[in-house]
A and B are shown apart, each in its own frame.
Chain A
């Protein structure tokens, strides 16, 4: 066991290395590229056994990942944002193949406008694919989640690919102290992949991913995949408990911070939840009974766990770092669907959108969201969803537009 300062990207690469992945189909994209560069070095220098191949697109990369896993080797891959969307047809397809492998997504906001910094619209576009999703908030969690993800994916009760998500820049390029477990201890936790009978061998011909005719066989396979994903809730708890027993670190499906006696609970995913945690701490110091819930698992959705934590609360504020155009926050809808109709459900569920394209969420904004939610609980009137944006930000954008207009008219005057 060693402790090193690692970026989120390096932590992901270390996770893949400790999982002894055989095969990495790759394609570069910011902010993920450091992961595949690191793995490429390790394969080239012989530190890792296997091979990394750069494909000509993410669509091909995910196809190759699924096909290699279908042949019975342990596969890792990584992407971001536009890359995830470019490969989206295959994200859905390989989930249907029921091939276990792990894909790291380094979240980055989607075009248009094109940008580099994070939010969760990329990863949430894969929400309904059948690939399971684990969302990380710090670099240690990235490494640990990769190991957990392989156990989960390869469990015969699950056999589904898993995406481990970390936020671009905030985690991908931020160095944090990370404990790198002993390879032997990881081997004991995560034995070599056994594809059992589902793989390509000359002596045992196998047709995989064949077409079906009609809704009945189609529904059969789709339901089967859904039931396997639901089964993954139980399997996740088992695997996470085993991980804690072996390594001492806990990675529950839902992380709870001071929820027990909280009146108002913030719900948030990813690295920005650490900002929320800090705000909750300050609020507690000021005597406000705030708490934080951070779902690590988004698929399967730990609805029961969230219900238990939120039962009897006065108000819940969901902060979405994503925006479903014409609807609002995706996590807000998910939480609402888990709570609706329960006698002990919190009467007030507020919705806030923030952190799009890496926009910061300040401590003051967290205080304000708690206060708005508390007032709503007092008055019984739930305010409409709010898009976080300050007057100063708006002024800055207006200023840029004004400068551009002036420049354009000045240029137009030149002979």
Chain B
């Protein structure tokens, strides 16, 4: 693999490809990540979208993309990618199109589709060795319908369907490991607040063939209940507290691309978000907070061991 062309922040693309004026919320962490991803991927792409916030990016008759787009349904964006990739391969094979007309096929879905309804279609696409890139913008809930909890919601978070005093009783599904267990070409976690790490990973994924999957944690002002101006700060804290480990899977090995040392207390990340406000009110909250911190510590103990 070629050495990364992104060594410093000033190496990042200065020309931005994604158009402005989209209907995404102010401070959308998913859109922040998508901007950065698109700049590295380029416009010779076809985005295959599943139902979610970003479905509204391309709203008739406008689109912020310079390349192509196909909206499918909530559960089957990877199957849409399969159809396009196979069709392009057939056309290339019989020389109906030139290599210059080929496209990178990119699935773009939220966590609702990625962690839940579309997981079977993703599993199938990986198992078939489909040559595609999957981008999940993970805002940890069904954001487009008003932030109900999803398989990506973290323990304790208040959502529209977990308004009780303890918030969401379940635990965030480890999608990274589920994807990696399929042994695809590449899996990575990224966040828009760490653009250099993100650019290197997207660059690497672009150079590889086969199934490549990236989860971008997407701080969400409306769903997580914070001021839009804090998106980048919250994103940085997600990495510095260790609650969102930046890592990649290649050839059976998981490598952490950032080791947060020393780790900041997770409370710093949580207290910036209204969805966790109840953790800072009483004894019960204090107890839950300690549990959340202990879980993060255990994770990094294993990594650093």
Interface residues of A, Cβ cutoff 8 Å to B:
22-23, 25, 49-51, 53, 55-57, 59-61, 63-73, 75, 89-90, 93, 200-203, 205-213, 217
B162 within 8 A of A: no
B73 within 8 A of A: yes
B102 within 8 A of A: yes
B78: chain A residues at CB < 8 Å are 60
A61: chain B residues at CB < 8 Å are 79
Bound-complex Cα distance A53 to B78 (A): 14
Instruction: Report whether B73 and A90 are in contact in the complex, using a CB–CB cutoff of 8 Å.
Output: yes
Contact A202-B100, Cβ < 8 Å, known A67-B87, A207-B65: yes
B280 within 8 A of A: no
Instruction: Report whether B101 and A72 are in contact in the complex, using a CB–CB cutoff of 8 Å.
Output: no
B128: chain A residues at CB < 8 Å are 53
Instruction: Report whether B68 and A207 are in contact in the complex, using a CB–CB cutoff of 8 Å.
Output: yes
B253 within 8 A of A: no
B147 within 8 A of A: no
Instruction: Report whether A217 and B60 are in contact in the complex, using a CB–CB cutoff of 8 Å.
Output: yes
The smallest beta-carbon distance between B155 and chain A, in angstroms, is 30
Instruction: Report whether B44 and A22 are in contact in the complex, using a CB–CB cutoff of 8 Å.
Output: no
Contact A66-B103, Cβ < 8 Å, known A208-B69, A209-B71: no
Bound-complex Cα distance A201 to B97 (A): 8
Which of B44, B56, B82, B83 counts the most A-chain CB atoms under 10 A from its CB?
A: B83
Contact A63-B97, Cβ < 8 Å, known A22-B90, A68-B83, A71-B91: no
For window 92-145 of B, CB contacts with A under 8 Å fall at: 94, 97, 100-103, 120-121, 123-124, 127-128
Measured CB to CB, the nearest residue on chain A to B78 is: A60
B302 within 8 A of A: no
The smallest beta-carbon distance between A81 and chain B, in angstroms, is 20
Contact A203-B70, Cβ < 8 Å, known A51-B90, A213-B59: no
Instruction: Report whether A65 and B83 are in contact in the complex, using a CB–CB cutoff of 8 Å.
Output: yes
Bound-complex Cα distance A114 to B295 (A): 47
B123: chain A residues at CB < 8 Å are 56
Interface pairs (22), CB distance under 8 Å: A25-B79, A59-B73, A60-B79, A60-B120, A60-B121, A60-B124, A66-B80, A67-B48, A67-B72, A67-B82, A73-B90, A93-B72, A93-B73, A200-B84, A200-B103, A201-B97, A201-B103, A205-B67, A210-B60, A210-B63, A211-B56, A213-B60
Instruction: Report whether A212 and B59 are in contact in the complex, using a CB–CB cutoff of 8 Å.
Output: yes
Measured CB to CB, the nearest residue on chain B to A25 is: B83
B233: chain A residues at CB < 8 Å are none
B43 within 8 A of A: yes
B86: chain A residues at CB < 8 Å are 23, 25, 51, 53, 64, 68
Measured CB to CB, the nearest residue on chain A to B128 is: A53
Interface residues of B, Cβ cutoff 8 Å to A:
43-44, 46, 48, 55-56, 58-61, 63, 65-73, 75-84, 86-91, 94, 97, 100-103, 120-121, 123-124, 127-128
Instruction: Report whether A71 and B87 are in contact in the complex, using a CB–CB cutoff of 8 Å.
Output: yes
Bound-complex Cα distance A51 to B128 (A): 13
Bound-complex Cα distance A156 to B65 (A): 27
In-complex Cβ contact of A72 among B61, B75, B87 (8 A): B87
B65: chain A residues at CB < 8 Å are 205, 207
B55: chain A residues at CB < 8 Å are 211
The smallest beta-carbon distance between A75 and chain B, in angstroms, is 8
Bound-complex Cα distance A266 to B268 (A): 77
In-complex Cβ contact of A25 among B68, B73, B82 (8 A): B82
A89: chain B residues at CB < 8 Å are 73, 75
A207: chain B residues at CB < 8 Å are 58, 63, 65, 68-70
The smallest beta-carbon distance between A74 and chain B, in angstroms, is 10
B87: chain A residues at CB < 8 Å are 22-23, 67-69, 71-73
Which of B68, B71, B121 counts the most A-chain CB atoms under 10 A from its CB?
A: B68
The smallest beta-carbon distance between A342 and chain B, in angstroms, is 40
Contact A208-B70, Cβ < 8 Å, known A53-B128, A64-B79, A202-B101: yes
Contact A63-B80, Cβ < 8 Å, known A73-B90, A202-B44, A205-B65: yes
The smallest beta-carbon distance between B118 and chain A, in angstroms, is 10
Bound-complex Cα distance A67 to B81 (A): 7
Instruction: Report whether B58 and A59 are in contact in the complex, using a CB–CB cutoff of 8 Å.
Output: no
Bound-complex Cα distance A207 to B86 (A): 19
The smallest beta-carbon distance between A332 and chain B, in angstroms, is 33
Measured CB to CB, the nearest residue on chain A to B72 is: A63
B102: chain A residues at CB < 8 Å are 202
Shortest 3 CB-CB contacts between residues of A and residues of B: A67-B83, A56-B124, A60-B79
Instruction: Report whether B43 and A205 are in contact in the complex, using a CB–CB cutoff of 8 Å.
Output: yes
Bound-complex Cα distance A80 to B242 (A): 50
Measured CB to CB, the nearest residue on chain B to A203 is: B101
Bound-complex Cα distance A49 to B89 (A): 12
The smallest beta-carbon distance between B252 and chain A, in angstroms, is 24
B83: chain A residues at CB < 8 Å are 23, 25, 63-71, 75
B94: chain A residues at CB < 8 Å are 49
Instruction: Report whether B69 and A55 are in contact in the complex, using a CB–CB cutoff of 8 Å.
Output: no
Which of B77, B80, B87 counts the most A-chain CB atoms under 10 A from its CB?
A: B87
The smallest beta-carbon distance between A216 and chain B, in angstroms, is 11
The smallest beta-carbon distance between A238 and chain B, in angstroms, is 27
The smallest beta-carbon distance between A2 and chain B, in angstroms, is 27
Bound-complex Cα distance A203 to B99 (A): 11
Contact A60-B71, Cβ < 8 Å, known A22-B90, A53-B86, A205-B65: no
